[in-house]
């Protein structure tokens, strides 16, 4: 299993380690719930160095790289990033990713660890000119997330810098550049910081020495993202699920050409086979991935993500309904009561709801129009 | 009173023919935050190693097995509303149930404290 550059530090902090996408990662340091609260109330620091990063340099339009992704790269303003997908020919999601426009001929792609090598192959194959480099092994990533993250960052940078939501800056650090992006996976105001491995320990220690900051692991991160309804690629999204089925069509630009477009256009006409839903459980019991979803005693779908919402103090989950409920024309499932469980003994009542589960997130705070 | 342990990290405090049952500090350290427990049924008899209760932490769902065969005489119902008591005090306030022991010979299959400590060493 692969080790992150801060592996020894996590061991020193007595983190409970676990496996994620072939990497050894910290699940929690003290407790998942307390680290969750740290992020919702103050600032949490995460080591997310397993993620994949590629740099593209060249003429974006001529290279053909647009074809590989669902977002229109040429329309991303310099200094901003956008969320999108790499699809297969059937419109299935190979991966979700962020594309950062560093300048008009330089991009940073940030992809999931599990799909890193296939993403790289696809992007590489899509370009006829220009240059694509996989910088994953030499790049670390730490996320600093929480309502007070802005002041913590200002102390680190020695100045108050306004970075809009989905904007980023390049910061000179000991002669090299680190990229600080106003994005995250928690629903709180925060930053994702991309930096060379050699700086990660010193920068981690600078942040962690701040009284408002504590480390948080992948366990807390999973609750945080799930409360926002953010999907986890490989779990809530995979190559048999299209963005339309996942309810993510706003991240697909139909006015450009991209791999998988024809299948999505067809699906738009015919309608989807399955629909992603979010649900709240009527107890503290946790719906686990793989549990079936039942409606009026009939199996209608499956849970893809589930956890305990510390905010709602109950179990929450995401899943897909394989066939439309009656009446079939009804697309708004909210308030419908379902049962989730395994075939054996677990049967939990649940109610379909609209996302997000957590509506008070500080993610856009002080960020232009959304402040 | 004597205390015994299972390989699955349950403990049983035996006094006369009653065993108080719970899970160990080690079990809790592996589970992390406990958010739910499905307690045994009162008055119901369970066999040794049969699923007595189900416990869910944020991380995972697990079964708790009965360390001894017997009938449930008392439940720690406070756990329904505050399952985190198991995290805070797994070997005292976080007890799960009391059972009336049917066959005290089964105690021989359990570990004493020293043996359990040795068992934990093998897991490191």
Lookup result for tokens 């925060």: A190
Structural domain harbouring B85: 2-103+110-123
Mean pLDDT of B23-43: 94
Give pLDDT tens digits for B47-81: 999 999 999 999 888 999 999 999 999 999 999 99
ipTM for the whole complex: 0.78
pLDDT at A329 over 70: no
Å between A272 CA and nearest CA of chain B: 32
The pLDDT score that the predictor gives to residue A159 is: 82
Lookup result for tokens 């708790």: B64
B32 inside 8 A of chain A by CB: yes
Mean pLDDT of A244-256: 96
For the domain that residue B7 is a member of, what is the CATH number?
2.40.50.100
CB contact under 8 A, A16 and B32: yes
Alpha helix positions (H), chain A: 7-12, 32-41, 60-63, 116-126, 149-157, 197-208, 218-228, 261-270
Q: Indicate the residue of A33, A283, A346 with minimum beta-carbon distance to B58.
A: A33
Average pLDDT along chain A: 93
For residues B124 and B122, what is the distance between their CA atoms, to the nearest angstrom?
6
The answer to whether residues A153 and A38 belong to one domain is yes
CB contact under 8 A, B32 and A31: yes
Residue A138 structure tokens: 């030499």
Residue A220, domain member (yes or no): yes
The answer to whether residues A224 and A282 belong to one domain is no
Å between B40 CA and nearest CA of chain A: 13
pLDDT at A171 over 80: yes
Mean pLDDT of B27-43: 94
- A328 falls in which pLDDT band (50, 70, 90)? very low
Mean pLDDT of A116-121: 98
- A369 falls in which pLDDT band (50, 70, 90)? very low
- A113 falls in which pLDDT band (50, 70, 90)? very high
Å between A287 CA and nearest CA of chain B: 10
The answer to whether residues A31 and A169 belong to one domain is yes
Residue A105, domain member (yes or no): no
For the domain that residue A314 is a member of, what is the CATH number?
2.40.30.110
Q: Indicate the residue of B33, B36, B59 with minimum beta-carbon distance to A285.
A: B36
For residues A256 and A274, what is the distance between their CA atoms, to the nearest angstrom?
25
Residue A120, domain member (yes or no): no
CB B44 within 8 A of CB B93: no
Structural domain harbouring A36: 2-51+137-228
Choose the weakest-confidence range: A42-46, A156-160, B108-112.
A156-160
Mean pLDDT of A237-247: 96
For residues A353 and A334, what is the distance between their CA atoms, to the nearest angstrom?
5
Query: Which residues, at least 6 apart from A242, have a Cβ–Cβ distance to it below 8 Å?
Result: A87, A90, A91, A92, A93, A260, A263, A264, A267, A272
Choose the weakest-confidence range: A309-318, A360-369, B76-85.
A360-369
Most confident of A157-166, A222-231, A324-333, A340-349: A222-231
Q: Phi and psi (nearest 5°) for B34? A: -85, 130
The answer to whether residues A43 and A154 belong to one domain is yes
Average pLDDT along chain B: 95
Give pLDDT tens digits for A23-82: 999 999 999 999 999 999 999 999 999 999 999 999 999 999 999 999 999 999 999 999
Q: Quick one: CA torsion of B105, B108, B110, B111, rounded to 10 degrees?
A: 150
Mean pLDDT of A135-142: 98
The pLDDT score that the predictor gives to residue A73 is: 98
Residue A77, domain member (yes or no): no
pLDDT at A345 over 80: no
What is the tally of structural domains in chain B? 1
CB contact under 8 A, A308 and B61: no
The answer to whether residues A279 and A370 belong to one domain is yes
What is the tally of structural domains in chain A? 2
* Interface test with chain B among A32, A303, A345, by most B beta carbons within 10 Å: A32
């Amino acid at each position: 299993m692969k080790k992150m550059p801060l592996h020894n530090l996590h061991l020193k902090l007595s983190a409970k380690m676990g496996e994620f996408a072939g990497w050894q990662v910290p699940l929690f340091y003290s407790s998942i719930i307390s680290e969750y609260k740290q992020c919702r109330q103050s600032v949490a620091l995460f080591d997310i160095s397993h993620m994949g990063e590629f740099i593209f340099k060249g003429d974006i339009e001529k290279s053909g790289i647009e074809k590989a992704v669902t977002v229109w790269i040429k329309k991303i303003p310099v200094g901003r990033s956008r969320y999108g997908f790499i699809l297969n020919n059937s419109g299935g999601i190979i991966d979700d990713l962020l594309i950062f426009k560093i300048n008009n001929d330089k991009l940073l792609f940030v992809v999931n660890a599990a799909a890193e090598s296939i993403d790289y192959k696809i992007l590489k194959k899509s370009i006829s000119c220009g240059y694509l480099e996989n910088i994953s092994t030499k790049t670390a990533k730490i996320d600093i997330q929480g309502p007070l993250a802005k002041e913590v960052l200002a102390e680190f940078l020695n100045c108050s810098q306004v970075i809009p939501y989905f904007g980023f800056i390049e910061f000179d650090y000991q002669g090299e550049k680190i990229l600080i992006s106003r994005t995250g996976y928690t629903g709180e105001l925060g930053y994702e910081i991309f930096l060379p491995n050699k700086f990660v320990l010193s920068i981690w220690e600078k942040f962690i020495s701040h009284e408002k900051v504590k480390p948080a692991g992948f366990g807390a991160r999973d609750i945080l993202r799930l409360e926002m309804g953010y999907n986890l690629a490989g779990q809530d999204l995979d190559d048999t699920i299209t963005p339309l089925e996942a309810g993510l069509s706003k991240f697909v630009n139909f006015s450009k050409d991209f791999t998988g477009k024809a299948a999505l256009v067809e699906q738009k006409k015919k309608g989807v086979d399955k629909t992603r839903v979010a649900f709240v459980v009527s107890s503290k019991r946790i719906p686990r991935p793989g549990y079936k979803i039942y409606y009026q005693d009939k199996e209608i779908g499956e849970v893809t993500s589930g956890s305990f919402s510390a905010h709602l103090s109950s179990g929450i989950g995401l899943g897909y309904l394989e066939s439309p409920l009656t009446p079939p024309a009804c697309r708004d499932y909210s308030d419908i009561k379902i049962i989730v469980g395994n075939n054996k003994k677990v049967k939990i009542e649940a109610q379909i709801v609209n996302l997000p589960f957590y509506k008070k997130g500080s993610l856009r705070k002080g960020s232009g129009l959304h402040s | 009173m004597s205390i015994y342990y299972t390989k699955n990290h349950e403990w049983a405090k035996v006094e006369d023919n009653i065993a108080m049952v719970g899970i160990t500090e080690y079990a809790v350290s592996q589970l992390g935050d406990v958010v739910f427990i499905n307690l045994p049924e009162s008055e119901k008899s369970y066999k040794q190693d049969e699923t007595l209760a189900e416990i869910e932490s944020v991380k995972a769902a697990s079964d708790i097995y009965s360390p001894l065969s017997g009938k449930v005489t008392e439940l720690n119902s406070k756990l329904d509303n505050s399952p985190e008591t198991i995290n805070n005090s797994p070997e005292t306030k976080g007890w799960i149930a009391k059972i009336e022991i049917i066959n005290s010979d089964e105690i021989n299959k359990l570990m004493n404290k020293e043996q359990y400590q040795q068992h934990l060493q093998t897991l490191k």
